[in-house]
Amino acid sequence: MKILLSRCLFVFLSIVLMNHGSMAKSQETINTNYSRDVTREVLASGYPDEASGYILELVRYIIPPDVLLPIHSHPGMQLGRIESGILLYKVVKGEAKIMRKNGLIEILKDGQETLLTQGDSLIEPGYMVHYGQNKTSEPVIILSSSLLKSNEPKTIIEP
């Protein structure tokens, strides 16, 4: 039931993206002092009338092997699903909800970490501080949907 609910939410957000606001497809690369390039491919985006001041996006992230992402947060909620690979994921401040491929729910709080694998999903509330690391020799691919404040950077690097 929980898996069905998460899939329905993902489908709903995808439909909203396709039917509201302007749509775009772009690809940008995130460069940080902590990592090699991470690909951020915007599959669809829009400015929903129901959420003034926010942008709704569907994004594919590709994290290369042996990459440490910087400690960061996002100015709004982000949902993610691991399409392939293994990601070490750590909450620095706040909490994240993890839904395992088998439907098991976990809550990660300050200082806790876990390995996310293919089929696992996560819910990140806005401004929750976290980071990820790909310690493997294969890329990690994440499909993400987010509702972010449109007047702030999509990723806020923590000092």
3-state secondary structure (DSSP) of residue 121: strand
Residue 149, pLDDT score? 98
3-state secondary structure (DSSP) of residue 114: strand
pLDDT digits (tens, 9 = 90+) for 1-28: 445 444 544 444 444 444 444 444 445 4
Give me the mean pLDDT over the 52-76 stretch. 97
- Sort residue 133 into left (φ over 0), alpha (ψ -120 to 50) or beta: beta
Instruction: Say if 120 falls within a structural domain.
Output: yes
Instruction: Say if 61 falls within a structural domain.
Output: yes
Which whole-number Å values give the CA distances from 159 to 67, 73, 139, 156, in the listed order? 19, 11, 26, 9
CA torsion sign, 64 to 66 to 72 to 74?
positive
* CATH number of 92's domain: 2.60.120.10
**Distance from chain centroid for Cα 89:** 11
Instruction: Say if 157 falls within a structural domain.
Output: no
Instruction: Say if 88 falls within a structural domain.
Output: yes
Instruction: Say if 20 falls within a structural domain.
Output: yes
* H helical segments located in 1-154: 2-19
Instruction: Say if 158 falls within a structural domain.
Output: no
Instruction: Say if 155 falls within a structural domain.
Output: no
Mean pLDDT for the chain overall: 85
Query: Residue 114 sits in which domain range?
Result: 2-149
Give me the mean pLDDT over the 48-74 stretch. 97
Q: Please, which pLDDT band fits residue 159 given cuts at 50, 70 and 90?
A: confident
What is the reported pTM?
0.79
Q: Please, which pLDDT band fits residue 128 given cuts at 50, 70 and 90?
A: very high
Q: What does R_g of the chain's alpha carbons equal in angstroms?
A: 15
Give me the mean pLDDT over the 128-146 stretch. 98
The total number of structural domains that make up the chain? 1
Instruction: Say if 130 falls within a structural domain.
Output: yes
